[in-house]
Amino acid sequence: MTTQALTTAHWAGLAQVHKFGGTSLADAGRFRAVAAIVQQHCATPEQCWLVVSAPGKTTDQLCQLLDMAARGEALEPVLAEVQHSLTTLVQQSLTEPEQSDVLAQLQQWLALLPELAQAGRAADVLALGESVSALLLSRLLRQLGLAADWLDSRQFLTVDGQQVRWDQSEQDLQALCQPGIRVVTGFIGRDLAGNSLTLGRNGSDYSATILGRLVQAEQVTIWTDVDAIYSGDPRRLPAAVPYQQVSWRQACLLAELGNPVLHARTLSPLHNSQTKLLVRSSFEPERSGCHILPDADCLASFVTDLHDMVLLSMHQLHGLNASWLANALHQPVIALPQSCDAHVWLLPARVADEAVQLLARHQVHAVHDTSRYYAVAWLKPAQVQQADLPADVAACVKRLAPAHRYQNHELAIWLFDQELSAVNLAQLHQCCTQPRPEIQLIVAGTGNVGAEFLRLLPGHQQRCHSHALRLAVLFNSRQMVFEPDNGLELAQQMQQGRPLDQKALLAEIAQLKGPKVLIDLTPSQQLAEQYPAFIEAGCHLISANKQGVTLPEAEYQAILDRLDQQQLHWYSTTTAGAGLPVQRALQELHSAGDQVRRISGIFSGTLSWLLCQYDGSSAFSDLLLQARELGYTEPDPREDLSGRDVQRKLLVLARTMGCSLELDDIALEPLLPESLAGDSWQAFWQQRAEFDALMQAAWQQAQQQGLQLRYVGELSLTEAGVQARVRLVQVPASDPLAAILPCDNVFVIESDWYQELPLVIKGPGAGRTVTAGGVHADLAQLCQQLPAAAYSSRLS
Ligand SMILES: NC(=O)C1=CN([C@@H]2O[C@H](COP(=O)(O)OP(=O)(O)OC[C@H]3O[C@@H](n4cnc5c(N)ncnc54)[C@H](O)[C@@H]3O)[C@@H](O)[C@H]2O)C=CC1
Ligand SMILES: N[C@@H](CC=O)C(=O)O
C-alpha cells in the first residue's frame, strides 16, 4: 500500500461509502459475507470507505457491563462473556498471522475495560465493539488481497452537542486520508475536548452519511437486513409492498414517523447534496435495494403504526420544533396538523415527562394528555395528496372509528383508544396502498379544446383516486412531444417537439407500458381513419372529434369490432351536446329496457348562440367571429353554418340508440347555402354580405310573425324505419325551444317510458371548458371501467 497522502477533494463525487450494521456482522460467517460484498463493490479501493457497527450483541453486552459497574457489581462474568465471544469471532474469521495480531490488540482493549467502566466512561467502553469490527474487517480484507486499513472515527469526527463540526472534522479527516479501503468505526466520535462520545441510536447510519458528506461521496449504501423500504411493517403486514424507489421527501417524513430503516438524523447530512443514498440487504446482495432519490415523485404509500403514544400540547414554541425534540429524545415526535391555536405533538408515552422537562428548560410550557393512543399514520402518495381522503380510505377509517383524526395533504394520522386488530390494520393498509395503475394519456390536438383539457389535467390527476394519469404523448398537426415537461407552457412544450411522424408516433405508443388512451381533440378525419392503428398499439379511445363516430357505417363498425376484440373502450360523450350527458342518458335508457322513439331539439351551441343574439343591429357574420372567439364554433365555422355539424350529432345520437345510419341519410337544410360557402374560409368571408342579407331577411320574416329562428334536428324511429333531418325553423315564444339561453342545447327524448312528458336535457352545448370537462368525465368513466387489479404499477 502506498502511503501517499490524499485530500478528501481527491474523492469528490467518486468515493463510495458502505455501512454495515451489527446484524450484518453478527458472526464470522457474516464477516465473510460482508468481505465478499466489499470485494465486489470496492473495485477501485482508493475510493471506498466502510463504516461498521459493533458485531452482533457486543453493544448490549458492553451496556450490561456499564450497568453492573454503575451498581458496583463484579464485572468478571460479563467480561468473560465479551472476551469469549470476540475471541471466538476473531479466531473463526482470520488465519495467521493476522489472527494473532488482532487477538493481541483485543487483549489490550479488553484489559482497559474494567477501569473505563468503573470510571463511567461509557463511550470509551462502547467504542470497543466498533473498534473490533473495524480492525477485524480490515484484516479480513487484507487476507483477501485488498489494500485495507482501519480508522478510529474519534481521530476526525468532532461533535459539539448535537452539531457536527464540519470544517474541523473535514480538516482532520484530510490529514488521515490514504489510498486503499478505509474501515471506519461507526457510532462514535469525540467532543470539543477530545473525549469519546456516541452518536446515539442508529448512530452508525448517521456516521455513514456524515462521512458521505465529508468525502463528498457519490453514493452512501446502508447495508442492512431488508432489501427495500416496505409500505408497512412486513412482520405484521404480509401484504406490505417493497418499494425500490422512495423520494427524499417521503424518506424524511417516514423517518419522522419512526420508521426503523432510515432515521431523520441519518438523512440530514445528505440533505441538498449530490450524494445518492441506497438501502440494500447484506443478506441478499444480489437484490438492487431501495434508492432514496431527491427528485423522485412521492409515488409510494406507507402505513405506520405507533404504540402507546400521547399528545403533547403547547401554546408557544419559542423557535423549537418537533424535529429538535425528536433529536434530543432519539424518539419519534410528530407535529400534528393543527386543529386550534395550540401546537400538538404526538410522542411515545415513555418519554413524555422527559419531553416536558426538556421543553421547560427552553421556556416552553407543555402539557401531556393522560390518554394513551394507538396511532396509525398514512404517508400519502402524490396522487392523493389533497385535503380529502379518497372515498375508499375514508369509508374504511369511518368504520374503524378513531378517537382523533389529523391530516394535511401529505399525511393522515388516526388515533385509536385501542390497538387495531391485525385484520383491521391489514384492511386499512390495503385501502391506503392498493395499486393505482398508471394510464398513459396520448393527447392529440392542442387548440381550443386541447389546451383547456391540458389546463384541467393536474386537477383531475389530483382527484383521480383509482389511477395515476400520466401525460405520455402530446401531438398536433405539426409536432409531437414524448413525455412532455409539465413545467413548460404548452407553446414552449410543442416547440421542443419533433415534426409529426405517424409511423414513429405509433411505434413509440406501442412501447408504452400499461393501459393507454388516445384522446382525440382534433377535427381531423385523417386521424379518425387511423383509429385502427392506435387500437393495434393498445389504445382506448376518447373522441371529441366527431369524424370517427360519423365514419361510414362499415368503417365505424370495424373500429367497434377491433375495440371489442382487444377489450378496449371508446368514449365520445362530447361529440353531441359537449359536456351534457346525452349519450349516457340514451345508453342507460336502452340498457334498462326502454325504447327511445324520437329525439329532437337544438344540437348546435354556435347556432343557438347566434340565433339568440342576433337582433338585426349588426351583421350575422360579425357575431360569428364572436362565437369563434368564445370557443363555440368548429375550427372551420362553416361546418356549423352548413348544418353539417348538427347532422353529425344527430348521427351520433342515432348510432347510440342502435340505429344503422349514414350521414347522408339525414336530410340537411343548411343555414348557409352551399353556393355561398365558398371553396375556402377566405372565399366565404369575402362574399359574406350575401349571407348576412339572407339571415337578415329570415330574421325579419320571423319577427313580423312574432316567431323566433331555431336550427333544429329531429330523428324518429317508426315501423317504417328511421327518419331524420336538420333544418332552420320558426318557433313561437311559447315553444320550449324558444325559452333558451344563448349557446344552450336542448335534447328532447321521447320513449316508451317518457311518452306524455319527454325527458329533456338542456344546457350549454359548446365551449372550451364544458367540452374539455366532458372529455375528463369520459376519462373518469374509462378509469372506472379499468380493473385496478389487472395492472401492477408498483415502483420497481
Ligand atoms: N368547441 C366546442 O365547443 C367543441 C368542440 N368539439 C370538437 O373538438 C375538436 C377540437 O376543436 P378545437 O379545439 O376547437 O379545434 P382547434 O382548431 O382549436 O384545434 C385543433 C387541434 O387539432 C390539431 N390537429 C388537426 N389535425 C390533426 C391531425 N391530423 N393530427 C394531429 N393533430 C391535428 C391541430 O394542430 C390543433 O392543435 C373538434 O373536433 C370539435 O368538433 C367537440 C365538442 C364541443
Ligand atoms: N361547434 C359545435 C361545438 C360542439 O360540438 C357547436 O357549436 O355545437
Instruction: DSSP for 285-349, please give it.
Output: TTS--EEEETT------EEEEEEEEEEEEES--TT--HHHHHHHHTS--EEPPPSSSSEEEEEEG
**Rounded CA gap, 646 and 648, in Å?**
5
Spacing, Cα 107 to ligand 1 middle (Å): 83
Grid cell locating 602: 337544438
pLDDT in tens, 686-725: 999 999 999 999 999 999 999 999 999 999 998 889 999 9
Q: Which atom of ligand 2 is nearest to the CA of 546?
A: 5
Give the DSSP per-residue string, 220-285: EEEEES-SSEESS-TTT-TTPPEESEEEHHHHHHHHHTT-SSS-HHHHGGGTTSS-EEEEEESSST
Q: Is the pLDDT assigned to residue 5 strictly greater than 60?
A: no
Q: What is the largest CA-CA distance in the chain?
A: 119
**Rounded CA gap, 354 and 762, in Å?**
67
Q: Which residues line ligand 1 (CB under 6 A)?
A: 444-450, 475-477, 521-524, 526-527, 544-546, 574, 578, 605, 631-632, 634-635, 766-767, 771
**Against a cut of 0.90, is the pTM above it?**
no
Q: What is the set of domains in the chain, with CATH numbers?
A: 8-224 (3.40.1160.10), 302-433 (3.30.2130.10), 438-576+777-790 (3.40.50.720), 582-765 (3.30.360.10)
Grid cell locating 56: 452482533
In this structure, of 79-93, 353-367, 465-479, the range with the lowest mean pLDDT score is: 465-479
Q: Quick one: three-class SS letters along 156-201?
A: CCEEECCEECHHHHHHHHHHHCCCCEEEEECCEEECCCCCEEECCC
pLDDT band at 162 (very low <50, low <70, confident <90, very high): confident
Average model confidence (pLDDT) across the chain: 92
pLDDT in tens, 552-564: 999 999 999 999 9
Cβ-based neighbours of 592, under 8 Å, separated by 6 or more: none
Distance of CA 413 to the CA centre of its chain: 19
Q: Please answer whether residues 702 and 730 qualify as being in contact, where contact means their C-beta atoms are separated by less than 8 angstroms.
A: yes
Q: Please answer whether residues 51 and 186 qualify as being in contact, where contact means their C-beta atoms are separated by less than 8 angstroms.
A: yes
Q: Which atom of ligand 1 is nearest to the CA of 478?
A: 35
In this prediction, residue 223 carries a pLDDT of: 95
In this prediction, residue 341 carries a pLDDT of: 59
pLDDT band at 79 (very low <50, low <70, confident <90, very high): very high
Q: Please answer whether residues 535 and 518 qualify as being in contact, where contact means their C-beta atoms are separated by less than 8 angstroms.
A: no
Is the CB of residue 744 below 6 angstroms from any atom belonging to ligand 2? no
Phi, psi of 761 (to 5 degrees): -115, 125
Grid cell locating 483: 413525455
Q: Please answer whether residues 381 and 423 qualify as being in contact, where contact means their C-beta atoms are separated by less than 8 angstroms.
A: no
Give the DSSP per-residue string, 678-725: -SSHHHHHHTHHHHHHHHHHHHHHHHHTTEEEEEEEEEEEETTEEEEE
**Rounded CA gap, 70 and 120, in Å?**
7
Gyration radius of the chain over CA positions: 36
In this prediction, residue 339 carries a pLDDT of: 56
Would strands 276-281 and 219-224 be described as parallel, antiparallel, or unpaired?
parallel
Spacing, Cα 634 to ligand 2 middle (Å): 6
Q: Please report where in the chains the cell 432489501 appears, as a residue.
A: 227
For residue 349, with 0-12 CB atoms within 10 Å meaning exposed, 13-18 middle and 19 or more buried, which class applies?
Answer: middle
